[in-house]
């Protein structure tokens, strides 16, 4: 039989890092800020001399961000607490900062202005599919090696949609509607976040979310052509000789069939409209004169998803020159 004559207290040592062992602070969003690591339940800034590009790669991966874009001491200010007293020696392939080797710092001081700041690029972990545009469609989130459908309760749909449009650089929300599927994992956002990674999520099955953002249409192109040799390139842009005909062509990428182009002339109410044929329209001017000098732009209009959308080209500055 086994007899116990005394009780022993066994203490197990743990790594000084907690599961949330690294963060970037001092900027909005999760992917940029001053690097801080957690040790003994408090946060410490990291000195620039103790942190290099390979260390940054590990941090960006651990936070679910893209590749490092900027790494500089003092970039996001100084921390108010202690300074981390080790030098990281990551190889760049680790998935967590706590997996990296460390060594004692050669110099025990970190001069003011040397708390390292890091900016990671935003990852392409959210997409809109099935809407004919990168700014419209069902919301999907890249998670654990696969694209998963995102769902939201009725009360959360508009806020989640606002975050999606903001993260993708697609402007503001035009509409947020439940999709035809119930395979989406749940997401809740107050609506002010810069990316979905800052929102709460659960794996409750909720109706998939379809989002339409305001910047649905790509920017159209505008260019000048002629068939008589009357167009030349001047210091201020294209020039057309008086009396020669010229054509301004508007075109756009083949997102949707049809639509129309509006050619505007800056400083005047004069406009011309033509239907988009093969995603372009040509506006012919038979004889150039001084009244044609100025700035032109193409506006592509399209009605889809029960809304009117438009996108304007860059300005084309046209000069009318000698005979």
Model pLDDT for residues 270-314, shown as the tens digit of each residue: 789 999 999 999 999 998 999 999 999 999 999 999 999 999 999
pLDDT score of 13 more than 90: no
Distance between CA 23 and CA 14 in Å, rounded?
20
Query: Are 21 and 38 spatial neighbours (Cβ–Cβ below 8 Å)?
Result: yes
pLDDT score of 120 more than 70: yes
The pLDDT-based confidence of 182 (bands split at 50, 70, 90) is: low
- Alpha-carbon radius of gyration of the chain: 29
Distance between CA 271 and CA 265 in Å, rounded?
6
Rounded to an integer, the average pLDDT of 30-55 is 86
CB atoms within 10 A of CB 20: 9
The pLDDT-based confidence of 32 (bands split at 50, 70, 90) is: confident
CA 144 to chain centre: 20
Q: Read off the tokens for 131.
A: 């809407």
**Which residue has tokens 């099955």?**
205
Task: Provide φ and ψ at 57, rounded to 5°.
Answer: -60, -40
Distance between CA 250 and CA 295 in Å, rounded?
14
Cβ neighbors of 203 (< 8 A, separation 6 or more) are: 185, 186
Q: Read off the tokens for 179.
A: 């999709």
CB atoms within 10 A of CB 300: 28
β-bridge mates for residue 118, sequence order: 33, 71
Q: Which of 123, 238, 112, 131 is nearest to 175 (CA)?
A: 131
What is the reported pLDDT for 15? 36
Query: Are 191 and 157 spatial neighbours (Cβ–Cβ below 8 Å)?
Result: no
| Candidate ranges 12-21, 46-55, 65-74, 200-209; pick with highest mean pLDDT | 46-55
Query: Are 134 and 127 spatial neighbours (Cβ–Cβ below 8 Å)?
Result: yes
Q: How does the average pLDDT of the chain come out, rounded?
A: 83
Q: Which of 126, 155, 114, 3 is nearest to 66 (CA)?
A: 126
202-236 burial string, b = 16+ CB within 10 Å, else e?
eeeebbbbbbbbebbbeebbbebebeeebbeeeee
Using a cut of 0.75, tell me whether the model's pTM lies above it.
no
Q: Read off the tokens for 241.
A: 């000789």
Q: Read off the tokens for 208.
A: 């998939």
What is the reported pLDDT for 106? 67
Length of the chain: 323
Distance between CA 36 and CA 31 in Å, rounded?
13
pLDDT score of 230 more than 60: yes
E strands of 170-287, at which residues?
173-178, 184-188, 200-206, 209-213, 221-225, 231-234, 237-241, 246-251, 260-265, 271-275, 280-285
66-101 burial string, b = 16+ CB within 10 Å, else e?
bebeebebebbebbeeebbebbbebeeebeebbebe
Query: Are 242 and 323 spatial neighbours (Cβ–Cβ below 8 Å)?
Result: yes
């Amino acid at each position: 039989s086994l007899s116990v004559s005394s009780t022993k207290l066994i203490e197990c040592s743990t790594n000084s890092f907690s599961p949330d062992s690294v963060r970037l602070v001092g900027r909005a969003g999760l992917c940029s800020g001053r690097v801080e690591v957690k040790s003994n339940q408090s946060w410490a800034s990291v000195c620039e001399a103790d942190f290099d590009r390979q260390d940054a790669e590990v941090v960006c991966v651990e936070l679910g961000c893209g590749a490092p874009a900027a790494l500089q001491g003092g970039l996001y200010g100084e921390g108010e607490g202690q300074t981390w007293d080790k030098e990281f020696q990551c190889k760049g392939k680790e998935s967590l900062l706590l997996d990296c080797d460390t060594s004692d710092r050669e110099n025990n001081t970190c001069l003011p202005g040397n708390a390292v700041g890091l900016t990671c690029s935003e990852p392409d972990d959210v997409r809109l599919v099935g809407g004919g545009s990168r700014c419209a469609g069902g919301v999907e989130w890249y998670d654990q090696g696969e694209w998963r459908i995102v769902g939201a309760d009725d009360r959360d749909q508009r806020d989640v949609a606002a975050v999606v449009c903001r993260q993708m650089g697609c402007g503001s929300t035009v509409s947020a509607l439940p999709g035809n599927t119930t395979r989406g994992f749940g997401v809740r956002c107050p609506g002010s976040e810069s990316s979905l990674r800052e929102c709460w999520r659960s794996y409750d099955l909720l109706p998939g979310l379809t989002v339409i953002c305001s910047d649905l249409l790509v920017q159209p192109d505008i260019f000048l052509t002629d068939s008589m040799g009357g167009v030349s390139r001047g210091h201020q842009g294209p020039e057309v000789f008086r009396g020669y005909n010229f054509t301004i062509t508007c075109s756009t990428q083949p997102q949707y069939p049809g639509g129309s182009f509006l050619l505007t002339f800056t400083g005047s109410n004069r406009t011309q409209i033509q239907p988009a044929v093969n995603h372009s329209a040509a506006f012919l001017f038979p004889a150039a004169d001084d009244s044609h000098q100025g700035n032109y732009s193409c506006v592509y209009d399209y009605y889809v998803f029960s809304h009117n959308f438009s996108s304007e080209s860059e300005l084309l500055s046209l000069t009318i020159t000698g005979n």
